[in-house]
Amino acid sequence: MTQTSDTTSYKDIKQTVLRRIRSGQWQPDTLLPNEQELAVEFSCTRTTVNRALRELANEGFLERRRKAGTRVLSAPQRQARFTIPLVRDEVEATGGTYRYALVSAETQPAPDWLAARLALTPGQSVMHVRCMHYSGNTPFQFEDRWIVIDSVPQVEQADFSGIGPNDWLVQTVPFTNVELTFLASRADTTLAGFLDVPEGEPVFTAERITWLQGQPVTFAKMYFAAGYRMTTEF
C-alpha cells in the first residue's frame, strides 16, 4: 500500500511514543515493544517505526541496542542545543544597530599559554586581534582573538578595520572541529574600560578554539556585556 492520508507517519509515531513516556505509561527503563510489533500496532512498515525511534534516540529520549531492544532513558540525557549566533545577528535580533570597531591587530610570537593551549611550537607566529562589538553605542562584546598564521597565511593580508575577524574567518576558512567553553570571569581594568562596567564585575565569557583537520586555526575569548544571558529551550 502506498502513502495516503490515513497513513501513519513517522512523526505521528514520535508523538505517540513521547506521549506514552510523558504520561508514565512507559516509565524510565521500560523496554519498548520491538520495531516489528510497533509496526503492526501503527499499521505501517518497520522502516517507518525505525525512523521514528531512531530520531527519538538521537534526541536523547530512548536508548537503542541491537538485540537488547529499545528502552526509555532513565535520566533523559537531554542535550541543549545552542545555536551560536553571529554577533551581528544577535545584536540586530534585540533591535539594536550593530557596530564594529577594531582595537588592535598585530603579528607576534604566540605567548606560552597560547602555544600550550593550541599545541603550537614555541614562538610560532600568531596574529593577535582585539575588537569591540556594539549595539548602538552600548558595548556588547569584547573579542580577544589569536589566529595561527601558519594555518591561515592569508590573514597577513586581511584588513580587519571593516570586517570582524570572525566574519572574515567564516568566509575564508572552513573548519572541522570546535571546542566551546563558557565561564564567568572578572573584569580587569582593561576589560572594564572596554565594556564600560566597574572593575571586578563578573563577565560572562565564551572561549572558542577552532581546528582545521587537526591544525589549530584560532583561539577567541569573547567577553559579554553586563547582564548577558545565553538562553536555550529544548
Interface contacts to DNA, rule CB under 7 A: 1-5, 7-12, 32, 34-36, 43-48, 50-51, 53-54, 57, 64-70
In the complex, least distance from residue 15 CB atom to DNA, rounded to whole angstroms: 11
- Helix axis angle, 46-58 relative to 10-23, nearest 10°? 50
The nearest distance, CB 178 to a second copy, in angstroms, is: 6
| Three-state secondary structure of 116-146 | HHHCCCCCCEEEEEEEEEEECCEEEEEEEEE
Q: Which does 24 bind (CB under 5 to 8 A by kind): DNA, a second copy, none?
A: a second copy
Which grid cell sits at 147?
589566529
Minimum gap (Å) between residue 106 Cβ and a second copy: 27
Contact between 82 and a second copy per CB under 8 A: yes
| Cβ–Cβ under 8 Å, residues 193 and 183 | no
Q: Is 113 in the site for a second copy (CB under 8 A)?
A: no
Listed ranges 104-112, 114-122, 141-149, 201-209: which one lies at the site for a second copy (CB under 8 A): 201-209
How big is the site for a second copy, counted in residues (CB under 8 A)?
48
Which residues, 60 to 79, sit near a second copy by CB under 8 A? 60, 74-79
- Contact between 9 and a second copy (CB under 8 A)? no
**Judged by CB under 8 A, which of 31, 101, 119, 183 binds a second copy?**
183
Q: Using CB atoms within 10 A of its CB, is residue 125 exposed (0-12), middle (13-18) or buried (19+)?
A: middle
The terminus-to-terminus CA distance of the chain in angstroms comes to 36
Q: How far apart are alpha carbons 129 and 126 in whole angstroms?
A: 10
